[in-house]
Amino acid sequence: MPGSNCTQATEFSFTAFTEDPATQIAQFLLFLLSYLVTILGNLGMIALIRASPLLHSPMYYFLGNLAFVNVCTSTVTTPRMLAGVLLGKKGMAYAGCMAQVFTSGLFLITECFLLATMAYDRYVAVCHPLLYPLVMSPDRCSGLVIGSYLLGLTNGMGQAIGMSSLFFCSSRAIDLFFCDISLLISLSTSDTTLSLVILRTSSSLLGVPTILVVLVSYAAIISTILSISSAEGKRKAFSTCASHLITVSTFYGALVFMYLIPRSNTSRGRDKWATVLYTVVTPMLNPFIYGLRNQEVKEAWRRL
């Protein structure tokens, strides 16, 4: 329990920003450019998928939803950070921080399940191509996507409940550029048992299974590809999975560093780069990864 002289914090300050004016300008321009590229790239991908009949398939249906989640993930954190650098306001009210914890938790788990669903889609396409139209029917694809959002909503509500049970003495400094629940738990001056239970339960029940689905799916895919006799057949089979594999590697790699590896005093710099990777870099690169490496997307652009 907090001490009797402790006052609940009403605002959090972000200390991940540099105080050097020249560096601040460079930081602002870099994040602004990345945000604009993220928005334009992902919205362009969504528009292309909806406009081109060539891309009306389960794979691109999932990709369109992933692009939407990428837009939301980037919008939750980056504009507020840009405003902080531009206006010099490095703080956020308690209510705003809770809203950010809820929305970031929602879209984080939603993206995990969408990536797992896309891995399963590629598994069926490569390992059981004759059953693909039956297994990945429109109704099943819609159910998988809706389930991803509902599970993300469950996680977001759980993280918000976990934060509501925390107590912070006076003003607290967050060594990141947005409110992260795991870092908030470490800053709390109250009993963090409930918050830790929620965080570890959501990681175990929601995050870990998606990683296992991806690993099992790609183990089966690689095994099937290696059994193909022709080199051209192997190349075509692998090309259908390469873009998704790159996205999965960067996204889950950042999450493992951020949430599954124990923190220490020397890990703060690592945490900053990990959060930048999965909240800024990955959403920005996804449209290019899928667009530049995918012949169907290139053909759809040419036809339009």
* Euclidean distance between CA atoms 114 and 58, whole angstroms: 12
Terminal-residue alpha carbon distance, the chain: 62
**CA–CA dist 134, 132 (Å, integer):** 5
Residue 289 lies in a domain: yes
Number of H helices, E strands in the chain: 12, 3
H or E stretch at 11:
strand 11-14
Task: Let me know if residue 199 belongs to a domain.
Answer: yes
pLDDT at 16: 62
pLDDT in tens, 117-165: 999 999 998 889 899 999 999 999 999 999 999 999 999 999 888 888 8
Residue 6, domain member (yes or no)? no
Residue with tokens 């950070």: 81
Longest alpha-carbon distance in the chain: 74
Encode the chain (304 residues) as per-residue pLDDT tens digits.
Answer: 554 556 666 778 777 666 677 777 888 888 899 999 999 999 999 999 999 888 888 989 999 999 999 999 999 888 888 887 777 667 788 888 889 999 999 999 999 999 999 999 999 988 898 999 999 999 999 999 999 999 999 999 998 888 888 887 765 777 777 888 888 887 787 778 888 888 888 888 888 899 899 999 999 988 888 888 777 777 777 777 777 788 888 777 777 766 666 555 555 555 666 777 778 888 888 888 877 667 778 788 888 7
Are 285 and 250 spatial neighbours (Cβ–Cβ below 8 Å)?
yes
Q: Has residue 18 been placed in a domain?
A: yes
Does residue 299 sit within a domain? yes
Q: Per the structure block, which two tokens stand in for 178? A: 């947005």
Residue 234 falls inside a structural domain: yes
Write the pLDDT tens digit of every residue in 213-224.
999 999 998 888
CB 61 within 8 A of CB 117: no
Number of domains in the chain: 1
Q: Which two tokens stand for residue 83?
A: 């405003």
Domain of residue 67, residue span: 11-303
What backbone phi and psi angles, to 5 degrees, belong to 238? -70, -35
Environment class of 92 (CB within 10 Å of its CB; exposed 0-12, middle 13-18, buried 19+): buried
User: Do residues 248 and 119 lie in contact, with contact meaning Cβ atoms separated by under 8 Å?
Assistant: yes
- Which bin fits 36, alpha (ψ -120 to 50), beta or left (φ > 0)? alpha
Which bin fits 12, alpha (ψ -120 to 50), beta or left (φ > 0)?
beta
191 in any annotated domain: yes
Note whether 131 and 162 are within 8 A (CB).
no
DSSP character for 267? Answer: G
Q: Which long-range contacts (CB under 8 A, 24 or more apart) does 183-190 make?
A: 183/271, 184/97, 184/101, 186/263, 189/2, 189/3, 189/6, 190/1, 190/2, 190/165, 190/166
Residue 14 in contact with residue 176, Cβ under 8 Å? yes
Token output for 239: 């090309």
User: CATH code at 292?
Assistant: 1.20.1070.10
Per-residue pLDDT at 146: 96
Q: Is residue 5 part of a domain?
A: no
Nearest to 85 by CA among 38, 10, 23, 11: 23
Strands of the sheet containing 172-174, edge to edge, are 91-93, 11-14, 172-174
Contacts with 94 (C-beta within 8 Å, 6 or more apart), sequence order:
8, 9, 10, 11, 12
Taking the C-alpha atoms of residue 135 and residue 221, their distance in angstroms, rounded to an integer, is: 16
